[in-house]
Amino acid sequence: MVTNLFSSFDPSTSTINSLNWVSLIIFLMLLLNKFWVKIAATKFTINFVILYLFNEFKIIVYSNKYFRIILVSLFILIVVNNFIGLFPYIFTSTRHLSISISLAIPLWIGIMFFGWIKFNRNIFAHLVPQSTPIALIPFIVLIERTSNIIRPFTLSIRLSANIIAGHLLITLLGNQLVSTSIRLLPTVILVQLALTTLEIAVSLIQAYVFSILIALYLREIRPH
């Protein structure tokens, strides 16, 4: 039972395992403007969401539009991969730490390099909050530096853990459908639908949280 349950998180268990990682580039179709018909409602919806996210990130990263473009693309990448994993027999790449860490660490390293090169004084200022007692400064610096180093790992673990937890619940409940009596079957189906709806919300929320935290890390190194 345990092997069958967790084997769903192994991309090599599928008969088309060589195509499992292709899901990582599906989000590019949503960014291609000429892919959609000009009057299509799908294109209008996607443009509306992208514009809303662009303005949302503008509040945090207000000085450079290229950073906002990267954040919007990151959000779309994560939310598409989270969402398509809710369909049967489709591999979810974002529930693997190898993918979430691969997203978090390069972005964090890029932000750190950008900050140390352009705003190194501001980074040093964040190591010691105002009104900190002199005796506590070494400990505060150590704590702040440690919390900064573990940021990409907390980002990736938060994303993967939330996706894994919901998928495990859906899988466990789905396995019970086979042995459930006819009397309890409607209840189990309703609970399954409720969990699926919750997972759709989690897919959106986790993508938004991941992108917003990256934006906040970027804003932190810039002078206000």
- Nearest-Å Rg of the Cα atoms of the chain is 21
- Above 60 in pLDDT, residue 37? no
Query: What local confidence, expressed as pLDDT, does residue 70 receive?
Result: 84
**Which residue type does 183 have?**
R
pLDDT over 70 (residue 40):
no
pLDDT given for residue 51 in this prediction: 83
Instruction: Give the SS3 label for residue 63.
Output: coil
In terms of pLDDT, which residue wins out, 109 or 223? Answer: 109
Question: What's residue 33's pLDDT?
Answer: 55
Residues in contact with 36: Cβ distance below 8 Å, sequence separation at least 6, in sequence order = 42, 43, 46
Residue pLDDT, tens place only, 98-116: 888 888 899 888 888 887 8
The pLDDT, as a whole number, for residue 196 is 85
Most confident of 56-70, 117-131, 142-156, 178-192: 142-156
Task: Give yes or no for residue 125 having a pLDDT over 60.
Answer: yes
As a whole number, mean pLDDT of residues 197-219 equals 88
**pLDDT reported for residue 169:** 80
